[in-house]
């Protein structure tokens, strides 16, 4: 304990007040850092609790972010079997519609009959927002780990922009049509700060014309004048990014992957079997000025 003689030391009162102020400052600083540590601990606890409610319990967020940063894509976002079955059964039981005519709806089991009656091929069947409002799809839209990946990669609060569920139907096409279709690579130039999660709900192999992406194409942005167009030939893409980086994503039903919108990719119509895909898109919340 410190004793200050205020009688023999005329400046003692000043020193004593100064000491009190110093102690107060120290106490305030201590409380600040203690509060900061408690806030961080609480945030980690909340995050841990929210992640426990995620469908993707075994998904490593940092590994996913590293792959997105390096390659612009990450695979192995696998859906549990009950969720695969629920969404697949929903798609079978609910009418979809022609992308060019929302009034023309049909069940997927009726597509052959519809094509015979109209004399026109059906290459896609899209589901309406009422179908997408099912609880399972809504659960995916708000999954805490998917949101954490989007937030960390976009470096912003993620905003759910769009959900789509659609069939890509196997259609007959000429060799010329298949070659023309295989040439078209594109990326989202209107909203580059976005991230899309894809989930296959049917088995997809090379004969199902899988989703094709160009690894690392979100980072290398040279030859700007060439890339002002919306789509690009496989020759241009392979010359600039390397043919080895053009990757087809195949897998069993339930396979999911996430892709940076800046990556070049292409979607073809299946050549031998129908493909059912769920797509969730998130964008970065605009920063306030």
Q: Which of 35-39, 72-76, 272-276 is predicted with the least confidence, judged by mean pLDDT?
A: 35-39
**Of 90-94, 99-103, 114-118, where does the model show the most confidence?**
90-94
What digits encode the pLDDT tens for the residues 153-211?
999 999 999 999 999 988 765 444 555 555 578 887 777 789 999 999 999 998 888 99
Q: Which of 95-104, 128-137, 152-161, 199-208 is predicted with the least confidence, judged by mean pLDDT?
A: 95-104
What digits encode the pLDDT tens for the residues 28-68?
545 544 444 543 443 343 344 446 689 998 888 999 999 99
Question: What's the pLDDT at 51?
Answer: 63
Q: What is the mean pLDDT of residues 119-145?
A: 91
E-only strand ranges, the chain:
73-74, 96-98, 101-106, 124-126, 158-168, 185-186, 194-200, 211-214, 231-232, 246-249, 256-260, 265-266, 275-284
- Judging by beta carbons within 10 Å of its beta carbon (0-12, 13-18, 19+), is residue 78 exposed, middle or buried? buried
Cα–Cα distance measured from residue 289 to residue 287, given in angstroms and rounded to the nearest whole number: 6
Instruction: Give me the percent of the chain exceeding a pLDDT of 90.
Output: 45
- Domains of the chain, by residue range, sit at 1-52, 58-284
Q: What is the pTM of this model?
A: 0.78
Cα–Cα distance measured from residue 126 to residue 99, given in angstroms and rounded to the nearest whole number: 6
Q: How confident is the model at residue 224 (pLDDT cuts 50, 70, 90)?
A: low
What is the three-class DSSP state of 77? coil
Question: What's the pLDDT at 170?
Answer: 85
Q: Residue 225: is its pLDDT beyond 50?
A: no
As a residue count, the chain comes to 289
Architecture category of domain 58-284 in CATH: Sandwich (2.60)
Q: What is the mean pLDDT of residues 219-229?
A: 57
């Amino acid at each position: 304990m410190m004793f200050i003689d205020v009688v023999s030391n005329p400046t003692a009162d000043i020193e004593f007040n100064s000491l009190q102020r110093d102690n107060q400052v120290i106490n305030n600083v201590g409380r600040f850092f203690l509060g900061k540590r408690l806030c961080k601990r609480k945030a980690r606890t909340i995050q841990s609790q929210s992640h426990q409610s995620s469908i993707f319990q075994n998904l490593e967020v940092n590994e996913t972010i590293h792959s997105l940063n390096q390659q612009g894509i990450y695979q192995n976002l696998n859906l549990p079997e009950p969720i695969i079955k629920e969404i697949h059964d929903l798609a079978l039981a609910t009418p979809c519609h022609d992308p060019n005519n929302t009034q023309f709806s049909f069940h997927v089991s009726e597509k052959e009959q519809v094509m015979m009656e109209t004399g026109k091929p059906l290459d896609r069947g899209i589901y309406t927002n009422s179908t997408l409002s099912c609880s399972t799809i809504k659960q995916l839209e708000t999954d805490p780990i998917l949101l954490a990946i989007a937030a960390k990669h976009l470096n912003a609060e993620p905003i759910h922009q769009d959900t789509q569920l659609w069939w890509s139907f196997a259609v007959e096409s000429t060799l010329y049509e298949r070659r023309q279709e295989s040439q078209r690579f594109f990326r989202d130039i209107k909203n580059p700060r976005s991230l899309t999660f894809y989930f296959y709900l049917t088995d997809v192999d090379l004969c199902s014309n899988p989703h094709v992406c160009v690894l690392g194409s979100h980072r290398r942005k040279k030859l700007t004048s060439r890339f002002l167009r919306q789509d690009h030939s496989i020759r241009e893409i392979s010359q600039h990014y390397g043919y080895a980086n053009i990757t087809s994503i195949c897998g069993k039903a339930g396979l999911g992957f996430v892709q940076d919108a800046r990556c070049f990719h292409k979607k073809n119509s299946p050549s031998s079997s129908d493909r059912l895909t769920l797509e969730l898109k998130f964008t970065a919340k605009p920063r306030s000025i």
